Chain A
C-alpha cells in the first residue's frame, strides 16, 4: 500500500515540485507550439520532396512528439533532484525504489500523450489529414504505449544523470536520433540496412508503424504485433533504467558522489 502511495502521490508531488517553473506561458510555446511547427515543417518538406502524403508526416511527428515529455521530463526529474540537492534525502528513505522512480514517470507519460493529441488535432485542422471515429481510440492506445516506451527510455537517460554531468546534451541528441532512425519522416525502407537494425531496438519505430497502418484501415488485431513489440521495448528500457538507477545509487553511496555536480 505504501508503495502505491509513493508511486502515485510521490510521483505527483515530485512533478509539481520539480516543474514548478512550468507556467502556461512556458508550457504552451515549448511543449505545444514548437512540436506543432515541427509537424508543419516536415509536412511541407514532404510536399516539396514529393515523398508521401500529409498523413504520413502528421502521424510520424505527432507520435514522435510524445517522446519530448518522456525524454526531457525524465532527464529533468532525476537530474533536477540532483541539481536541487534533494537526491540524498530521497535515497536515504527506505521507500520502494521501483515505486519511487516509476511513479515519477507517470506525469511525464501523460504529458507525452497530451502533446501528441494536440499534434494530431492540429494536423487535422491545418493539413490534409483525418481519422475515422473507429481509428481514434486505437491510435490513442498506440500513443499511450509509445509514450510509455519513450518515458522508459527517458528514465534510462535520467539514470545516467546520476553519474554524468551534461545529461541534457544526450537527451537532445536522442531526439535527433529518433527523428532520423525511427521512420518519423523517412520511410524505413529508404534507410540503409544498418540504420533499420538500430531503429528496431529504439522506442517509437513500431508505434509509428502501427499508427500509420491503423490510419490506412488496419484493425487493432492487425497491428497487435507492432503494439506488443513497442510495449516490450518499453519494458526492456524500463528494466534497464531501473537496474542502472540502483547501480548508480549504490555506486554514488559508495563513492559519496550522489550530489556532486
Chain B
C-alpha cells in the first residue's frame, strides 16, 4: 500500500513539475481560461445577465482549462511516451501499467488547479469579484472530486486515443464540444434533449455543478457523489482499455512503433 502510494505521489509530483515547465500547458491552464472568462464576462454583462455572470464565468472558464489540460495531456500521453522512447520502460517496470499511468493523468487534471486559481484571481483583481463562498469546505471537496474524476477520465482517454492514428486530431476536435455539452458556460436546458445523456456521463458536468453549488448555494453533495461514481467507472474502463492496449502492443511488437 505504501509502495503504491509512494509511486503515485512521485509520479504525480514529477509530472506536475514537468507540465508546469511546458509553455503549452501553462498557456492552456492559465492564460486561455482568463481569455475565455473575460469573453464570457463581457457577453453576460452586455447581454441580459449583467449581475450574475462573473463568478459563473470564472468557474466555468476554470473548468474549461481543466478539461483542456486533461484532453491534451492525457489524450496524447502514451503517444508522447512513445515519441520520447520511454514507453518500453513504463511498461517493463515491475509495477502494473495503470499504477504508472494514473499519476500522470491525474497530474494533467491537477494542472487545472492553475485554471481555477487564475480565473478566480482574475475576477477578484480586475473586477472585484467577492470570493465569499457559501460553502468553502464543500468547494474544496468539489474541486478535489472534480480533479480526480477528470484525471480518471484522462486514464480512459490515454488508453483509447492511443489506438487512433491521429490522437492529436481527436484532442483538437473534442475541446469545444465538451465545453458545450457539459454546460460550463451555459445552462444545459438550452441544448437539445438528446445531448443530456452525453452530459451526464461526463465528469465536468458534475464537477462544475458541485463547484457552483458550493460557491453560490445549493446542495453540492449530489454532484460530488456523481464525480466519485463516474471516477470509479472511468477507472474500471481505463483498467480494461489500458490492459487491452498493453497486450495488443506486446503481441504485435508495436510498442515503440509510431
Residue A185 CB within 8 A of the other chain: yes
When distances are taken between beta carbons in the complex, the residues of chain B under 8 Å from A47 are 186, 190
On chain B, the residues within 8 Å of A125 by CB distance are none
Contact with A along B171-215 (1 / 0, CB 8 A): 011011101100001110011000000000000000000000000
A29-B170, A29-B173 given as contacts; is B35 within 8 A of A49 (CB)? Answer: no
Among A29, A169, A177, contact of B169 (Cβ-Cβ < 8 Å): A29
State whether the Cβ of A83 lies closer than 8 Å to any Cβ in chain B. no
Interface size class of A (residues with CB under 8 A): 35 or more
CB–CB A50/B48 < 8 A: yes
Chain A residues, CB < 8 A from B24: 168-169, 172
Contact B49–A49 (Cβ < 8 Å) = yes
> Once the chains bind, are B190 and A34 in contact (CB under 8 Å)?
no
Interface residue? B133 (CB, 8 A): no
The reply to whether the CB of B86 lies closer than 8 angstroms to some CB of chain A is no
With an 8 A cutoff between CB atoms, is A23 at the interface?
Answer: yes
Chain B residues contacting A51 (CB-CB under 8 Å) are 43, 46-48
B190 and A44 contacting across the interface, CB-CB below 8 Å:
yes
Give Cα distance in the complex from A169 to B21, angstroms.
13
A185/B43 contact (C-beta < 8 A), A48-B186, A172-B27 known: yes
A169 to B48, CA, bound (A): 35
Q: Is the interface of B mostly helix, strand, loop or mixed?
A: helix
A-B Cβ contacts below 8 A, count = 101
Q: A49-B48, A50-B47, A190-B45 are in contact. Are A37 and B23 (CB under 8 A)?
A: no
Q: Is A185 a contact of B39 with CB atoms below 8 Å?
A: yes
Q: Say whether, besides A50-B48, A51-B43, A37 and B173 are in contact (CB < 8 Å).
A: yes
Within the complex, the shortest CB–CB distance from B188 to chain A, in Å, comes to: 10
Contact assessment for B186 and A34 in the assembled complex, using a CB-CB cutoff below 8 Å: no
Check if B243 is an interface residue, CB within 8 A of chain A: no
Expressed in whole angstroms, the Cα–Cα distance for A38 and B174 within the complex equals 11
Are the CB atoms of A169 and B23 closer together than 8 Å? yes
Given contacts A49-B47, A179-B35, contact A40 B190 (CB under 8 A): no
Residues of chain B within 8 A of A173, CB atoms compared: 27, 31
| B43→A45 contact, CB < 8 A | yes
Flag whether B166 is at the interface (Cβ < 8 A). yes
B32 touches A (CB below 8 Å): yes
- Report the separation of the CA atoms of residues A26 and B186 in the bound assembly, to the nearest whole angstrom: 29
User: Is B165 located at the chain interface by the 8 A CB criterion?
Assistant: yes
Contact B39 A186 (CB under 8 A): yes
Q: B180: which A residues are within 8 A, CB to CB?
A: 37, 40-41, 44
For A53-84 the 0/1 string (1 means CB < 8 A from B) is 00000000000000000000000000000000
Q: Does A25 contact B (CB under 8 A)?
A: yes
A25 with B39: in contact, given A38-B176, A51-B46 (CB under 8 Å)?
no
Any chain B CB within 8 A of the CB of A137?
no
CA distance A173 to B39 in the complex (A): 14
A176 sits at the interface (CB 8 A): yes
Residue of B nearest to A28 (CB): B169
A186 B176 Cβ-Cβ under 8 A: no
Q: Which residues of A contact B177 (CB under 8 A)?
A: 37, 40-41
**B42 near A190: Cβ-Cβ < 8 Å:** yes
1/0 per position for B16-48, CB-CB distance to A under 8 A? Answer: 000000011001000110011011101111111
Bound form: Cα–Cα A150–B80 in Å: 31
The minimal Cβ–Cβ distance linking A27 to chain B, given in whole angstroms, is 8
Which chain B residue lies CB-closest to A32?
B173
| A interface residue numbers (CB < 8 A to B) | 23, 25-26, 28-30, 33-34, 37-38, 40-41, 44-52, 166, 168-169, 172-173, 176-177, 179-180, 185-187, 190-191
Besides the known contacts A40-B176, A49-B49, A187-B46, 13 further A-B residue pairs in the complex with CB atoms under 8 A apart: A26-B169, A30-B169, A30-B173, A37-B180, A40-B177, A41-B176, A41-B177, A45-B43, A47-B186, A49-B46, A50-B47, A180-B39, A185-B43
